[in-house]
A = this chain, B = another copy of it.
Amino acid sequence: MPPASAISAAAAARSLRLASRLTPKSAPLPRGFELSAVSTGVKKNAALDLALIHSTQPCTAAASFTQNLFQAAPVRVSRTILDTTGGTGIRTVAVNSGCANACTGVEGDKDAQTMVDLACEAVGAPKGAGLVLSTGVIGQRLQMEKIKAGLVKAGKGLGNGDEGALKSAATAIMTTDTFPKYLSRALTLPESGVRFTLAGMCKGAGMIHPNMKVHDPTTASATRPLHATMLGVLMTDAPLTAPAATSALSHALGDSFNCISVDGDTSTNDTIVLLANGLAAPKTTTMSAADTATFATHLRTFARDLAAMIVWDGEGATKFVSVRVTAPTEPAARAIASSIATSPLVKTALYGQDANWGRILCAVGYASVPGGVALDAGAVSLKVRSNGGELKLVENGQPKYPIDEAVASKILAEEEIEIVVDMGMGSKAQANYYTCDFSDEYVHINADYRS
């Protein structure tokens, strides 16, 4: 095995290559959105660690939050604000990295609320018109003096013109990420002809297995959303109502942030926020049903492309693996895909480029499939494919002997691999999960994260 420094050099080279392939050189912001990124000193070496987002016009906002029992203070505070405002009138979002403000007790709640107040003050917005997101070490208090000074400085640095602003903001919310994750797209609503921009950023590399529920302010007390420390902020100038924003975000999560896994650990802080200020169209515009549906489709693709960056940058990852499962029901397909995507034995075999397909079937077999779904081991088919080729491994429960090891090696040598499972029995429901392999680098990163 090469020494740690050589591994890190290889990882660094991979990171540069991925960043250049996956993220745009320039990233225009939607009309009315201003961004700023500063260093507060919470992170070492004067690294950027605070991003401030401001909209000159009030936004409709939708959000999805972790369903972890221990929701972090910023999650609880932001949920309350969405309940109070009904997801309207939001003007600013403050995101810090380095400290998750999670498991910090009642003092942590006060800190998160103070952070919202300071952000609103910094952008000149009314009190309570902001949201707050945090990521970093769990169980440590925010250093509020540094956060306060940082927000004042960030408020002064807000701007819309700089096409590098989104990249800087995405950099400021990173933790173990090796590159900033952001996208910007110019799109058109087909019926009204309205041209709008969709821009967004996210972060995450470990503690990634989101299981979020879109927050519905109208049924707030009845729901407890799900999670991973993954954060994301999506911004648009399309004219969305609050219910349309909630619905579009919910649709988007089903093939993006809620079906990625790095390590199976679901965080206390996972949050995705969607902000829409409507500045792309005249104030009185209401989107037609067709345009609303088109927006939702665009948002789903956009969210998937952003979420995929998290998997590509998974801690210690060397492979991007799509797990595609067809099963009798969608929850069954999701449970099976999730089981494969989180199995340490499947993931270490992928790292080793070992065609140990028995481990995949094994993970299918112990999936926590919701009750009442009948499955038949004798109906299952399994194949793997990549740019290196395709190999059927099991058909109708029977292994395809002998395995062509030369083809298997060629398939598994690729950086991007697909595992395709069909549970048979006329299954039609599909689910995807996006995951990465499991390397010794993951262990190195996580055995000593705090120091």
Contact = CB atoms under 8 A, between A and B. Distances in A.
A105 B397 contact: yes
Nearest to A69: B365
Contact of A69 (B264, B343, B377): B377
A158 to B, nearest CB: 32
A367 B368 CA distance: 13
A267 B344 CA distance: 13
Interface string A236-275: 0000000000000000000000000001111110000000
Interface string A326-366: 00000000000000001111001101101011110111111
Contact of A139 (B358, B368, B449): B358
Interface stretch (A96-104, A115-123, A424-432): A96-104
Given A211-B366, A362-B265, A398-B106, A344 B138 contact: no
Contacts of A359: 138, 207, 265
Contacts of A265: 343-345, 359, 362-363, 366
A406 B320 CA distance: 40
Contacts of A451: 354
B356 A449 contact: yes
Interface residues of A, number: 70
Interface stretch (A28-36, A143-151, A436-444): A436-444
B398 A105 contact: yes
A130 interface: no
A344 B268 contact: no
Contacts of A444: 1, 440
A124 interface: no
Contact of A446 (B104, B140, B348): B348
Interface in A84-119: 100, 102-106
Contacts of A397: 105
A106 to B, nearest CB: 7
Contacts of A263: 344-345
B69 A358 contact: no
Contacts of A138: 356, 358-359, 361-362
A433 to B, nearest CB: 16
A286 to B, nearest CB: 39
Contacts of A104: 399
Nearest to A1: B4
A344 to B, nearest CB: 4
A393 to B, nearest CB: 8
A68 interface: yes
A211 B263 CA distance: 21
Nearest to A3: B1
A443 B446 contact: no
A332 to B, nearest CB: 11
Contact of A206 (B67, B266, B267, B345): B345
Contacts of A206: 345
B443 A439 contact: yes
8 cross-chain pairs, A with B, having the tightest CB-CB distances, nearest first: A138-B358, A352-B447, A139-B358, A440-B440, A348-B446, A68-B365, A69-B365, A70-B365
